[in-house]
């Protein structure tokens, strides 16, 4: 060991790494202990040495409590060294070796980190190597290290990239904390540090990095293409998870524009905490149960390929530490040899269940495996054999094995939930699985309904079958217009019965919440969903329902927060968020949100943006031979663009009695824009009275300007305002702001 470096006396060795050695030393001239880092890199490269001195001089001009003070950059015997402040405490990396940080400790640490990063950015520097080993936790707060190797915005503008610096033998960043543009060798700015801060926050909360892999290549792929598992653990964690998700945007433009914006959202999230909160954040496991593969075609058991997988998925839904992808989504990946990388990337899951089934006489043999993806590591593998007439035993056994193998922490409610809903007889369960299979096809909805009804006739206490009855009645009543009109009432009765038998049945709860909105009870639906989301924060369908009910109540920011959380849990979950963006007047976001099967929303957004020629081409391409109620709407919009108001209005009239208040709101604004003011006002009055009281849309929709000065519209607006205000109170009383992590729900 050296005894001196420059004018400093070496007193010990603090650590050693790829960049060099860090010594403790003493400054005899100023009488203070210091740390010295001897740099191995850049010593033999004149250009690299010049860059290092330039950046280090800029960094040395900083004097900030969150930044380790750099005293000197010098040379000793041809080696470069940095003399800096000697810190007491430990690195964040050392602290993370003991596990995740408590919520408040992690919050304080990330705010300290961002304070230091902001000081660097004000100086025109990008740290570009933020990682736990470069963050020191002292008794007085966080200190950032190695900022003397920061990258200036000026150099970035000149085209100097991470790749070029690395090639020159300078600093090699740590892959797990590098932004996608760094890995691609592109020009970087301060948003690369924001990405790294998001990675660090995730790791502090969960105890593991968001992007993992067995090799640097796998880590690179995850950073560039994959999304990390969701963090769960209450309102604060959910709000922080949204911060992380934004900070980890794949494109710099998708992230926070600056450090202070990220810090504001973190402070707002921490403000949601109870003073005695002991919540432990956890990375939620994302699971998909693929349809089983029949080893031999068998008419008697082929329905189990989808049905059994669907039943397992349903049984596991609602566990707060698990997100289960839908069976319909899983069916897209069914094959004899599943592509694990495609499943991990496209479905964004961490584990899958695959299996085969084979009937031999009266016995059914089900062989299953739980695999980590994309690695394909087998977590467990087993073969279950049971009588064909005892299918529930197979489902119950597999469900228990999945929970056990994933080491899921279960609450008392969740343990009770997994043991509920046992069918009275094997025949009831078999009919239930057959009905589930039939319900996938519109043409078999009535046959599925009959099977579900047979189930509840034989076993009136089987909640899943009652939920199936309710679901079928709702779908038939809403989408098959030739029915008698009592389906909604029958659906409600069946769903209420399901929830009486099992208050924790997530499928029944979600269906009922949507039905309540259809029946004009959006406020009650919203409160119900908020309550359930507190209990089941990892259920994307609950948030998809909140998108709908919050919008009906005019709480548009809350609706957008629900969109973000639903998609964070399941990026492919279907929500009605396009309508929320439309009500906000953000028509560009409508275009980005989704391309619907019959793209009324997309074309309407194009019209609102003045892109009528583009909309007209799209509308004329729609197959008019398809029987669908929405064709009246698209035809009316086409006629409006062509300047044929009377025909456009006439095309809409058959839909004026549609049992869909939000749909009729669109018809009302259409009529008002065409100048048919009386019908528009009549529709608007009915819309508000029947449960769609989206006050922000009513107050600023430009297509309602023709009726805005009329007394009747003022009365409608006052009724909407009254209901909107009451819904806001209910939202806050139910702690919807905490559940969704929003401070301004409107």
The pLDDT assigned to 603 comes to: 93
Which pair of tokens denotes residue 737? 């702001």
pLDDT tens-digit map of 214-242: 888 889 988 998 888 888 877 788 889 98
Please determine, for residue 597, whether its predicted confidence score (pLDDT) is greater than 50.
no
pLDDT tens-digit map of 671-717: 999 999 999 999 999 999 999 999 999 999 999 999 999 999 999 99
Looking at the structure, tell me whether residues 267 and 371 fall in a common domain: no
User: Where is the domain boundary, 236, 254, 282?
Assistant: 282
Within the chain, what is the greatest distance between any pair of CA atoms? Answer: 95
* Residue 494 within any structural domain of the chain: no
Helix (H, G, I), strand (E, B) or coil at 354: strand
b/e string for 410-440 if b means 16 or more Cβ within 10 A? eeeebeebbeebebeebebbbbbbbbbbbbe
Structural domains of the chain, count: 3
User: Where is the domain boundary, 231, 257, 282?
Assistant: 282
Residue that the structure tokens 């330039």 belong to: 54
Looking at the structure, tell me whether residues 209 and 353 fall in a common domain: no
Looking at the structure, tell me whether residues 179 and 320 fall in a common domain: no
Backbone φ and ψ for 150, nearest 5 degrees, come out as: -65, 165
The pLDDT assigned to 197 comes to: 98
Query: Which band of pLDDT confidence, cut at 50, 70 and 90, is reported for residue 440?
Result: confident
User: Where is the domain boundary, 282, 309, 325?
Assistant: 282
CATH number at residue 588: 1.25.40
pTM: 0.80
Higher pLDDT, 307 or 629: 307
* Residue 225 within any structural domain of the chain: yes
Structural domain harbouring 624: 580-740
Residue that the structure tokens 């989808």 belong to: 306
Looking at the structure, tell me whether residues 262 and 151 fall in a common domain: yes
Looking at the structure, tell me whether residues 187 and 146 fall in a common domain: yes
Looking at the structure, tell me whether residues 337 and 256 fall in a common domain: no
Looking at the structure, tell me whether residues 159 and 226 fall in a common domain: yes
Looking at the structure, tell me whether residues 109 and 241 fall in a common domain: yes
Task: Please confirm, yes or no, whether 274 is among the known catalytic residues.
Answer: no
* Residue 468 within any structural domain of the chain: no
* Torsional class of 301: left (φ above 0), alpha (ψ -120 to 50), beta (otherwise): alpha
CATH number at residue 406: 3.40.50.10070
Query: Which band of pLDDT confidence, cut at 50, 70 and 90, is reported for residue 169?
Result: very low
Dist CA 70 CA 82 (whole Å):
7
Looking at the structure, tell me whether residues 270 and 291 fall in a common domain: no
Is 524 in contact with 514 (CB distance < 8 Å)?
no
Please determine, for residue 303, whether its predicted confidence score (pLDDT) is greater than 60.
yes
Looking at the structure, tell me whether residues 259 and 298 fall in a common domain: no
Starting from the edge strand earliest in sequence, which strands make up the sheet with 70-76, in order? 4-5, 8-16, 20-27, 32-39, 79-85, 70-76
Query: Which band of pLDDT confidence, cut at 50, 70 and 90, is reported for residue 52?
Result: low
Looking at the structure, tell me whether residues 591 and 619 fall in a common domain: yes
CA atoms within 13 A on the CB side of 65: 8
Mean predicted lDDT score pLDDT of the chain? 87
* Residue 40 within any structural domain of the chain: no
DSSP labels for 653-682?
A: GGGTT-S-HHHHHHHHHHHHHHT-HHHHHH
In 3D space, the residue among 535, 563, 539 whose CA is nearest the CA of residue 549 turns out to be: 563
Dist CA 129 CA 145 (whole Å):
10
* Residue 59 within any structural domain of the chain: no
User: Which one-letter DSSP state was computed for residue 292?
Assistant: P
Catalytic residue selected from 45, 50, 129, 705: 129
The pLDDT assigned to 275 comes to: 47
Is 56 in contact with 148 (CB distance < 8 Å)?
yes
Radius of gyration of the chain (CA): 30
Is 703 in contact with 673 (CB distance < 8 Å)?
yes
Q: Determine the distance from the C-alpha atom of residue 82 to the mean position of all C-alpha atoms in its chain, rounded to a whole number.
A: 43
Residue that the structure tokens 């297509």 belong to: 703
Ranked by mean pLDDT, the top range of 302-306, 653-657, 658-662, 693-697 is: 693-697
The pLDDT assigned to 41 comes to: 56
Looking at the structure, tell me whether residues 243 and 302 fall in a common domain: no
Helix (H, G, I), strand (E, B) or coil at 660: coil
Residues sharing a CB contact under 8 Å with residue 650, sequence separation 6 or more, in sequence order: none
Helix (H, G, I), strand (E, B) or coil at 4: strand
């Amino acid at each position: 060991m050296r005894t001196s470096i420059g004018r400093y006396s070496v007193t010990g060795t603090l650590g050693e790494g790829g960049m060099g050695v860090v010594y403790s030393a003493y400054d005899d001239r100023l009488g203070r202990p210091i740390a010295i880092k001897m740099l191995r890199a850049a010593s033999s490269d004149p250009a690299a040495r010049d860059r290092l001195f330039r950046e280090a001089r800029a960094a040395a001009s900083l004097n900030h409590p969150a930044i380790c003070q750099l005293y000197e950059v010098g040379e000793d015997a041809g080696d470069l060294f940095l003399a800096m402040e000697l810190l007491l405490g430990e690195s964040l990396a050392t602290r993370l070796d003991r596990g995740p940080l408590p919520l408040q400790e992690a919050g304080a640490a990330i705010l300290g980190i961002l304070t230091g990063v902001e000081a660097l950015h004000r100086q025109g520097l990008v740290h570009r190597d933020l990682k736990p080993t470069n963050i020191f936790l002292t008794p007085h707060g966080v200190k950032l290290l190695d900022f003397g190797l920061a990258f200036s915005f000026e150099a970035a503008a000149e085209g100097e990239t991470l790749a070029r610096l690395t090639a020159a033998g300078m600093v090699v960043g740590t892959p797990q904390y590098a932004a996608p543009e760094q890995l691609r060798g592109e020009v970087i700015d301060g948003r690369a540090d924001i990405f790294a801060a998001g990675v660090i926050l995730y790791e502090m909360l969960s105890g593991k990095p968001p992007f993992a892999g067995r090799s640097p290549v796998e880590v690179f792929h995850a950073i560039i293409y994959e999304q990390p598992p969701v963090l769960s653990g209450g309102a604060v964690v959910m709000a922080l998870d949204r911060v992380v998700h934004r900070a980890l945007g794949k494109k710099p433009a998708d992230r926070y524009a600056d450090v202070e914006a990220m810090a504001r959202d973190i402070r707002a999230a921490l403000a949601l905490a109870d003073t005695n909160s002991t919540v432990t954040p956890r990375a939620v496991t994302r699971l998909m149960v693929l349809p089983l593969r029949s080893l031999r075609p068998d008419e008697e058991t082929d329905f189990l390929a989808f049905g059994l997988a669907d039943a397992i998925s349903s049984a596991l839904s609602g566990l707060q530490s698990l997100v289960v992808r839908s069976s319909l989504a899983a069916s897209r990946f069914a094959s004899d040899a599943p592509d694990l990388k495609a499943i991990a990337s496209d479905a964004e899951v961490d584990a899958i269940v695959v299996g085969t089934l084979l009937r031999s006489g009266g016995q059914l043999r089900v062989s299953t495996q739980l695999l980590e993806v994309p690695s394909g590591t087998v977590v467990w593998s087993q073969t279950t054999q049971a009588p064909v007439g005892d299918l529930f035993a197979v489902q119950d056994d597999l469900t228990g094995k999945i929970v056990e193998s994933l080491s899921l922490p279960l609450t008392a409610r969740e343990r009770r939930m997994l043991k509920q809903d046992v069918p009275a007889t094997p025949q009831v369960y078999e009919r239930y699985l057959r009905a589930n299979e039939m319900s996938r096809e519109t043409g078999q909805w009535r046959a599925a309904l009959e099977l579900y009804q047979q189930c509840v006739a034989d076993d009136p206490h089987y909640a899943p079958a009652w939920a199936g009855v309710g679901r079928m009645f709702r779908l038939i009543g809403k989408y098959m217009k030739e029915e008698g009109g009592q389906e909604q009432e029958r659906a409600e009765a069946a769903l209420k019965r399901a929830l009486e038998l099992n208050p924790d049945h997530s499928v029944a709860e979600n269906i009922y919440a949507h039905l309540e909105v259809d029946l004009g009870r959006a406020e009650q639906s919203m409160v119900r969903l908020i309550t359930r989301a507190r209990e089941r924060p990892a259920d994307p369908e609950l948030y998809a329902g909140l998108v709908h009910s919050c919008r009906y109540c005019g709480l548009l920011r809350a609706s957008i927060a629900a969109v973000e959380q639903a998609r964070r849990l399941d990026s492919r979950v279907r929500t009605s968020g396009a309508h929320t963006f439309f009500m906000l007047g953000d028509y560009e976001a409508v275009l980005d949100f989704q391309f619907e099967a019959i793209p009324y929303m997309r074309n309407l957004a194009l019209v609102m943006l003045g892109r009528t020629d583009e909309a007209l081409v799209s509308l004329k391409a729609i197959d008019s031979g398809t029987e669908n109620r929405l064709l009246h709407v698209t035809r009316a919009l086409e006629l409006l663009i062509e300047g044929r108001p009377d025909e456009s209005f006439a095309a809409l009239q058959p839909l004026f009695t549609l049992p869909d208040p939000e749909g009729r709101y669109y018809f009302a604004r259409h009529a008002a824009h065409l100048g048919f003011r009386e019908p528009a006002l009549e529709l608007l009055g009915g819309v508000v009275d029947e449960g769609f009281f989206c006050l922000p849309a009513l107050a600023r929709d430009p297509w309602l300007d023709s009726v805005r000065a009329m007394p009747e519209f003022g009365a409608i607006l006052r009724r909407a305002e009254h209901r909107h205000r009451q819904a806001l109170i209910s939202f806050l009383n139910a702690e919807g702001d905490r559940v969704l992590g929003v401070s301004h729900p409107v």
